[in-house]
A and B are shown apart, each in its own frame.
Chain A
């Protein structure tokens, strides 16, 4: 064998081995060849549609690429002169009709299958195995997620949901804010949180666990840190937590203040309050004064958006008392 060809073969062999090794690792880790999860019925049906389309896509991809490589190898120049022409074929009506018509049929099949699966993806079930539908308001704000439960309980960035009970999420963004997109990859598709244009989506987590996600629509300087988490817990545990949390928030003993600081303030001012893209607030006089704090949180200042324009007094109190504990002179 001529040395050049041998070298090419060795190189090709190494490449194939490397590719195999990589794909082995990738498959072992569920390497991102299908949507993450899914652990919710809507997400599962999206994955079913994905694999349905994938079947045709792989087929078409193989037909094109195999034909391409075969033709290149088979009909390559091989020292023929440039002016040697191939057969002067200008077209073939039936063949062309075939590769116009067959794709039409494939696309019709994809459309039909999608519409068949669609109700199971978009329609929110009224009840699940562990109980009836739960409604939660999800608000995207620069740069945090605020969740409001039917009994008034508020949570920031971490959404606690019951397992096997459908949760209808009313997704929106306040009028003065920007567009965000709510997405927990392993639970289902995303839906935009748009000022003045409320949307909804739903999940029904199949098993307990923590599902992470983050804002998917570019929303400004801290878009990257606008993360979210869904904690799916058994339905009875959820019910107990929800009523206990309601009492705690009523009494001002919940950790709402900490959630607000971590999710709303610390993203710019740092978890230690020493500043990041925001200023150093740990030693600021503003956080020592309930009124100044309320003014800046409701109205923003310079680059700081009005992060809590419509916060309730209870939310304001929770933040103020947490800041007192954390950074106050007594702390």
Chain B
């Protein structure tokens, strides 16, 4: 019986339109771009919330935004940046790149993949819809500690719960999809130890999400029941526990931190070798460190709870497990440094962001060691020291990595190279603005400024550091703005990209820029090393010499 394998099922006419084709797409590349575009939209929204907070804190006793409005701002800023920006934009990169990098035609479950994206968008809409809810947006912080989050009147908090429920399902579906794709769909010859390091990181990202999201969902359900049905899971007077929520939340929440940083590290591990014109130093060590960080991250959650008075023995355990994370992280930093040694360092924008990542992430990692030492943590937890630390790892880490990735893969995604001149301006504004914003916050925390306060009464250095921080945030905002200027400029008159503009190592550059719906027009060659594209270039060169 003859089966025509060449033709795909015909598309229903109404799905062919420019707009409708995006709504109905199951192509991992288009879904990846939808993820990235939506996350960038929320990045701008969350960034504006942050700028409003910095404006309020610029000088003492300001009354620009106070009390409940301020509480809504930091709650929405944190929730947005974690759940609607960093996690989904990394899912976007994973979607776009994993099938291409492993030489597959698509992800394992393309329709589930589409469902995952649309649920993510729905979750975002529900969260932002809460501004219009009775009582306004949620205002108990992105951590929503009980009993406060149980007593908050209005429905903002309920919509927060609903939104996170939806986003958890979206992430869970996406994570399972990634795992099956990575485990089952690698091209011939791509053994585990030949997978690109970015694919290793998406595997760790997905495994962690599958392991910890159910804990978040369970916690959210208990919180919702307490609020709406009158159960007493978290109410001590009725036999519940006010601490239980923190355990459940951080059992999810700390691995979530590594969910947000591991793929960014994966991006750095791809960018640095290509722009240093060397193989990555210690591929095996970096791959194993990625897996190692993921495993250890499941055993560190209570370092967020040192000041809650949990038994000293437990505090000691969580201090040591937390310090263990520093070992594989340090291995990565040193391996990246060694990769640049004796290289031919091409300082294009992706590389600037990657090197900037090393420069600032190191500081974030070191302040993490301080925070692991629990007696010192008693001093600085819940202060601006923690705000500084978390932004050094989440902005200086994840967001710098994401920008490195955007500049690096933009030519593959859209066939044009982002403008280098604007890119460099963007990098320097962001880098300098970032450090001016967040470095002084270490000192503010040590001097005694708690998080989540809408104003302060101190002059002198408190005022100076806060003002510096606010000015820095403005500089950083300009830098981010330049990225969008760059996107528009590049779209109009950007330089056309070849299939492999950076002379890279991995298979996505074997496809055209942008790739056709089926990804690879020609069969993918048998993979014999972690750098298949370099192997191909070398073989071509040898053939030309013959």
Contact = CB atoms under 8 A, between A and B. Distances in A.
Interface in A42-92: 43, 45-46, 49-50, 53-54, 56-57, 60-61, 64-65, 67-68, 71-72, 75-77, 80, 82-92
Given A86-B278, A190-B382, A197-B308, A103 B327 contact: yes
A270 B109 CA distance: 60
B448 A36 contact: yes
Given A32-B461, A75-B342, A91 B446 contact: no
Given A89-B278, A177-B147, A191-B378, A214 B71 contact: no
Interface string A179-206: 1010101101111101111011000000
A190 B381 contact: yes
A75 B344 contact: yes
Interface in A241-269: none
Interface stretch (B211-219, B254-262, B354-362, B395-403): B354-362
B521 interface: no
A227 B482 CA distance: 41
B153 A192 contact: no
Interface string A217-232: 1111111100000000
A175 B238 CA distance: 9
Contacts of A189: 307, 375-379
A33 B378 contact: no
B141 interface: yes
A303 B461 CA distance: 36
Given A33-B446, A191-B378, A218-B141, A110 B373 contact: yes
B279 A277 contact: no
Interface stretch (A94-102, A279-287, A322-330): A94-102
Interface residues of A, number: 91
Given A72-B355, A99-B334, A189-B307, A222 B145 contact: no
B309 A199 contact: yes
A71 B337 contact: yes
Given A61-B362, A71-B345, A77-B346, A216 B447 contact: no
Contact of B242 (A103, A195, A220): A195
A70 B309 CA distance: 45
A215 interface: yes
B369 A86 contact: no
Contacts of A53: 369-370, 373, 376
A111 B323 contact: yes
B391 to A, nearest CB: 17
A31 B443 CA distance: 7
Q: How large is the interface on B (under 10, 10 to 19, 20 to 34, 35 or more residues)?
A: 35 or more
B285 to A, nearest CB: 5
Given A96-B282, A179-B147, A32 B335 contact: no
A77 B347 contact: yes
Interface in B435-469: 442-444, 446-448, 450-456, 460-461, 464-465
A290 to B, nearest CB: 27
A36 B444 CA distance: 10
A85 B465 contact: no
A32 B341 contact: no
Contacts of B331: 96, 99-100
Nearest to A197: B243
A33 B355 CA distance: 26
A49 B375 contact: yes
Contacts of A179: 145-148, 242
Given A32-B461, A107-B326, A177-B147, 17 more contacts: A31-B443, A36-B448, A53-B376, A56-B369, A68-B355, A72-B345, A75-B341, A76-B345, A91-B284, A91-B285, A121-B375, A122-B312, A175-B235, A195-B147, A213-B448, A218-B141, A221-B139
Interface of A: 25-26, 29, 31-36, 43, 45-46, 49-50, 53-54, 56-57, 60-61, 64-65, 67-68, 71-72, 75-77, 80, 82-92, 95-96, 99-100, 103-104, 107, 110-111, 114-115, 117-118, 121-122, 175-179, 181, 183, 185-186, 188-192, 194-197, 199-200, 212-224, 277, 303
16 contacts: A25-B461, A35-B446, A53-B369, A75-B342, A77-B345, A77-B346, A85-B344, A92-B281, A114-B375, A189-B375, A190-B381, A190-B382, A196-B237, A216-B382, A217-B307, A223-B71
Interface of B: 67-68, 71, 139-141, 145-148, 151, 153, 235-237, 241-243, 276-279, 281-285, 307-309, 312, 316, 319-320, 323-324, 326-327, 330-331, 333-335, 337-338, 340-347, 355, 358-359, 362-363, 366, 369-370, 373-383, 442-444, 446-448, 450-456, 460-461, 464-465, 502-503
